[in-house]
Amino acid sequence: MNQNLRILVVEADATRLRDIVDALRGEGWSDVRAVAQISALNRTVKEFIPDIVLIDLSNPDRDMLEHVSFASETTKRAVALFVDQTDEDLTQAALSAGVSAYVVDGLKMDRIKAVLETAIARFKIMRQMQSELDAAKQALEDRKTIDRAKGILMRQRGISEDDAYQLLRKAAMGQNRKIIDVAQALVTAAELLS
């Protein structure tokens, strides 16, 4: 596992905070910052820009999840949340807020490495899935734009769909541009002229 990770720890109890930081450093992570108040999370995330945030809370609530949601910025960092007790609604809310690992029964020092590895692995999987979803959505939008451009050419030139696509393709190659870019320009021009 990457020992160069920037880790931010949130823990209100000073002794426990020191134990967590010591455990992390004992596992080889040296770039660790700690905050005692969840309210300092947003500011510290902006300043420190951690790769992973570990939050140890005995009784999480909805207000705390707002801070977690900002801290996770699901495409930027993993968040591991350790709680002493929970309920189904809070678990779902935490996962929706972008928590990568939600561990009930608190943070145990002997499990810290395994939980970090799990949080990071889950974060990478979720980021990959989000990336694939975004790519699929973009491909669908591009397909719609190309279909609209073909429709415009078919109506204005009285040509078949295949001929309209070939015309778009030829224009894209001639301009050294992507077909979607030519199609978007055609659709935009048609909207301006109608």
Predicted TM-score of the model (pTM)? 0.65
CB atoms within 10 A of CB 185: 14
Q: For position 186, what pLDDT does the model report?
A: 95
Q: For position 56, what pLDDT does the model report?
A: 81
Per-residue pLDDT of the chain (194 residues; tens, 9 = 90+): 567 888 999 888 888 889 888 888 888 888 999 998 877 888 888 888 888 888 887 766 666 777 677 665 645 788 888 887 777 887 787 777 778 777 777 677 777 788 888 888 888 888 888 889 999 999 999 999 999 999 999 999 999 999 999 999 999 999 999 999 999 999 999 999 87
Q: For position 101, what pLDDT does the model report?
A: 78
Does the domain spanning 7-107 belong to CATH 3.40.50.2300? yes
Backbone phi, then psi, for 20, in 5-degree steps? -65, -50
Domain boundaries 133-193, corresponding CATH code:
1.10.10.10
Q: Give CATH 1.10.10.10 domain extents, the chain.
A: 133-193
Q: Distance between CA 68 and CA 98 in Å, rounded?
A: 8
Q: For position 11, what pLDDT does the model report?
A: 86
List beta partners, residue 35: 10
Q: Give CATH 3.40.50.2300 domain extents, the chain.
A: 7-107
| Residue keyed to tokens 């734009």 | 145
Q: For position 70, what pLDDT does the model report?
A: 66
Closest CA to 93 of 69, 73, 128, 72: 69
Q: For position 1, what pLDDT does the model report?
A: 56
